[in-house]
C-alpha cells in the first residue's frame, strides 16, 4: 500500500530471547580486583567538569554545581555546568528540530543503538558500579545490581521496539488494506531519581529514545555523573548527535521550564510524590502554541508493607523484612518501611528482625564489607532524623535511633515496635533506614493496615495459607505484590514495575506495554480493487 515506506525494513539477524543480566560474583578474586581498579580509576578523575549538551553542542556555563561523596561530604566527585531557564528552552527547541528527521529512523536502527549500548555498558560495568558507590553510597552488591538492571532495560526495550514495528493484528475487511503503526510522540523530558541512578536513568532515557523520540535528560543533581557518563556511552554507541541532550540543573528551575515548554510532548519522571504531582499539574496546563495533551509518566514512591501471618516461615519473613527495609539504606521506593505482624507471632518475628538488623555493617561502601552506606545528602539526613524523633513519640525504639559519630551522612538501621497503623511513621514516606512494626489481631486487620496509606507500590505477604494468598492477590492493592519473598528487587521482564494511587501512573517499567507510553498508534486504510 502507499504508506508501506513508514514500516522499517526487516532485519535478517536473529535476536536471542531476552534473559536477565547475571549479577557479579564478588567472592571471585578477579571481580574484586576489577572493582577495586575501577574505584581507583574514578578517583583519578575526581573534580572533572562536565558540560551541558544541547542539540549535540557541548556548553560550559559560569554557574556550576558539584556532586559530592556522601561518605565524605567535602570530597567532590565531579562538577557540572548548571543549566537555567534559557538553556532549557534552547534544549527543547533543538530537540524538536532534531525530531523532524529522527522520527523516521527505522526501528531496527534504533534498537541497534541500544544493543550496542548494552554491550558497552557490560564492558564498563565496574566503572559504572564505582560511580554509584562514590556518588550515592551504594554498596558493591547494590551498585552492581543497579548496573545489571540498566543492561536489562537496554536489551529489553530494544526487543520491544522491534516487536512493535512488526505488523499488528487487525480484523480484515474485504476491499481495504489496513495497517496500524506505532509512531513516536516528539520531544520527551526524562527526569530520573538519584536512588537508582543507573537503572532508572537509563531506562527512562532508552525507552523514549528507542521508540523514536528525542530526549532531554535532566539528571538528579546528586547523581549527575553517572548520567553524564551514560550520555558519553550513547555517543560511543553511535546514537546520532542531538537525539539526547544532557541538561543538569535545579529541578525547580530547569525541570519546570522543560515541563512547561509548549514543544514538550511528554515527561517521564521517577521521584517524590510532591514533585510528581507538581509535574502532573504543570503538564496538564496547556501553553500558548501547544498542539497536544502532554503525557506524564510518573512513579512517585511508596509506603510498602510486608504482612506476616501465623502460618508463615518466620525466619524467611524476618530475613525478607530486613533485606527490604535496609538494603541501600532504605532509599528505595519499594523498600519495606512497615512490617505488619499477626499478634500471635509478633514477638518472635520482631525479635528475629532486630537480631538480624543488629548484624548489619554500616560504613564507607568503597569497602565491600559494609552492607549499608551513607544516606544521599544532608537534606535526606536531616529529614530522616526528624522522622526518627517523631517515631520516638509514636512507638517503642527497638534498635538504632541515634546518629553515628563519624564523618558522612550515616544513619544506623532503626526499628520501632508497637507502632499504630495510623502513626506518621506508618503513613509518610521516610526514604531511609527506618522500619515501623505494627501488630494486627487477625488477617483482616493486617490487610486493612496494608491498604491504609495513600500509596500502592509494592507489598509482600508471608503465609502458607492458600486462601489468604488468593485473597491478598485480589485485595492487597499494590502494583507489585510478592508472596513469600521480599518486596524489593523487581527484575526487568519478570516483574513489570509500577504502582497505584499516589505511587504513580502504574506505568509498568520493564513490561511489554511500557513502550506504548512513548508512542501513538496510527491506523492507515487504503481502498483496494
Domain boundaries, the chain: 30-300+506-527, 304-492
Contacts of 197 (CB under 8 A, 6+ apart): 131, 132, 135, 136, 146, 219, 220, 223, 226, 227
CATH number corresponding to 304-492: 3.40.309.10
Question: Catalytic: 299?
Answer: yes
What pLDDT does residue 13 have?
Answer: 67
**Predicted pLDDT at 26:** 98
Q: Is 333 an active-site residue?
A: yes
* pLDDT value, residue 508: 97
166: how many CB neighbours lie within 10 A of its CB?
11
Specify the DSSP class assigned to residue 222.
Answer: G
pLDDT of amino acid 8: 42
Write phi, then psi, for 462 (nearest 5 degrees): -105, 115
Catalytic-labelled residue, pool 333, 336, 429, 487? 333
Q: Which residue has the cell 576489577?
A: 34
pLDDT at residue 440, as a whole number: 98
Distances (CA, A) of 280 to 16, 160, 262, 276, 358: 38, 27, 15, 6, 41
Dist. CA 477–CA 501, nearest whole Å: 9
Catalytic residue among 142, 149, 155, 299: 299
Give the model's pLDDT for residue 14. 87
Splitting the chain (529 residues) into consecutive groups of 10 residues, what average pLDDT does each group show?
Answer: 40 82 98 98 97 97 97 98 98 98 98 98 98 98 98 98 97 96 98 98 98 98 98 98 97 96 98 97 97 98 97 98 98 98 98 98 98 98 98 98 93 98 98 98 98 98 98 98 98 98 96 98 95
Rounded distance between C-alpha atoms, residue 20 and residue 400, angstroms: 36
CATH T-level fold of 30-300+506-527: Aldehyde Dehydrogenase; Chain A, domain 1 (3.40.605)
DSSP 320: H
Task: Name residue 436's beta-bridge partners.
Answer: 338, 416
Query: 57 has which bridge partners?
Result: 54
Q: Is the pTM of this model over 0.85?
A: yes
Question: How far is Cα 520 from Cα 280, in angstroms, rounded to an integer?
Answer: 20
Amino acid at each position: 500500500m502507499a504508506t508501506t515506506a513508514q514500516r522499517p525494513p526487516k532485519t535478517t539477524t536473529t535476536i536471542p530471547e531476552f534473559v536477565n543480566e547475571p549479577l557479579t560474583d564478588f567472592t571471585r578474586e578477579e571481580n574484586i580486583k576489577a572493582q577495586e581498579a575501577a574505584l581507583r580509576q574514578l578517583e583519578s578523575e575526581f573534580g572533572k567538569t562536565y558540560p551541558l549538551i544541547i542539540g549535540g553542542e557541548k556548553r560550559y556555563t559560569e554557574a556550576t554545581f558539584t556532586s559530592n561523596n556522601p561518605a565524605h561530604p567535602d570530597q567532590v566527585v565531579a562538577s557540572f555546568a548548571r543549566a537555567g531557564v534559557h538553556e532549557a528552552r534552547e534544549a527543547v527547541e533543538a530537540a524538536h528540530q532534531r525530531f523532524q528527521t529522527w522520527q523516521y529512523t527505522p526501528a531496527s536502527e534504533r534498537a541497534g543503538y541500544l544493543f550496542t549500548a548494552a554491550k558497552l555498558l557490560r564492558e564498563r560495568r565496574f566503572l559504572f558500579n564505582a560511580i554509584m558507590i562514590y556518588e550515592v553510597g551504594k554498596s558493591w552488591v547494590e551498585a552492581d545490581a543497579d548496573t545489571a538492571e540498566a543492561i536489562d532495560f537496554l536489551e529489553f526495550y530494544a526487543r520491544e521496539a522491534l516487536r512493535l514495528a512488526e505488523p499488528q493484528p487487525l480484523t480484515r475487511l474485504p476491499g481495504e488494506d489496513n495497517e496500524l503503526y506505532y509512531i513516536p510522540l516528539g520531544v520527551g523530558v526524562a527526569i530520573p531519581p538519584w536512588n537508582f541512578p543507573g537503572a532508572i536513568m537509563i531506562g527512562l532515557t532508552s525507552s523514549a529514545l528507542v521508540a523514536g523520540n528525542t530526549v532531554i535528560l535532566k539528571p538528579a543533581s546528586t547523581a549527575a555523573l553517572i548520567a553524564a557518563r551514560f550520555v558519553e556511552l550513547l555517543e560511543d554507541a553511535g546514537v546520532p548527535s542531538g537525539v539526547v541532550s544532557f541538561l543538569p540543573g535545579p529541578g525547580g528551575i530547569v525541570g519546570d521550564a522543560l515541563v512547561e515548554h509548549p514543544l514538550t510532548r511528554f515527561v517521564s519522571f521517577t521521584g517524590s510524590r510532591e514533585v510528581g504531582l507538581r509535574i502532573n499539574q504543570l503538564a496538564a496546563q496547556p501553553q500558548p502554541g501547544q498542539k497536544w495533551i502532554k503525557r506524564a509518566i510518573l512513579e512517585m514512591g511508596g509506603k510498602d508493607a510486608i504482612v506476616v501471618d501465623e502460618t508463615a516461615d518466620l525466619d524467611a519473613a524476618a530475613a525478607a523484612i530486613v533485606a527490604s527495609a535496609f538494603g541501600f539504606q532504605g532509599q528505595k521506593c519499594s523498600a519495606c518501611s512497615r512490617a505488619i505482624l499477626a499478634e500471635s507471632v509478633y514477638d518472635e518475628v520482631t525479635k528475629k528482625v532486630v537480631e538480624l538488623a543488629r548484624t548489619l555493617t554500616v560504613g564507607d561502601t568503597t569497602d565491600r564489607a559494609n552492607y549499608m552506606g551513607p544516606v544521599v545528602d544532608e537534606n535526606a539526613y536531616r529529614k530522616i532524623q526528624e522522622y526518627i524523633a517523631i517515631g520516638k513519640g509514636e512507638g517503642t525504639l527497638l534498635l538504632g535511633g541515634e546518629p553515628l559519630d563519624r564523618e558522612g551522612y550515616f544513619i544506623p538501621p532503626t526499628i520501632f515496635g508497637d507502632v499504630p497503623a495510623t502513626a506518621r511513621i506508618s503513613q509518610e514516606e521516610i526514604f531511609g533506614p527506618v522500619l515501623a512494626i505494627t501488630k494486627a489481631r487477625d488477617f483482616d486487620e493486617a490487610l486493612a493496615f496494608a491498604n491504609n496509606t495513600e500509596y500502592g507500590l509494592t507489598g509482600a505477604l508471608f503465609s502458607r495459607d492458600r486462601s489468604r494468598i488468593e485473597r491478598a492477590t485480589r485485595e492487597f492493592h499494590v502494583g507489585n505484590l510478592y508472596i513469600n519473598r521480599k518486596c524489593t528487587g523487581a527484575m526487568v521482564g519478570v516483574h513489570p514495575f509500577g504502582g497505584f494511587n499516589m505511587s504513580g501512573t502504574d506505568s509498568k517499567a520493564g513490561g511489554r506495554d511500557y513502550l506504548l507510553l512513548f508512542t501513538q498508534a496510527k491506523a492507515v486504510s487504503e481502498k483496494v480493487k
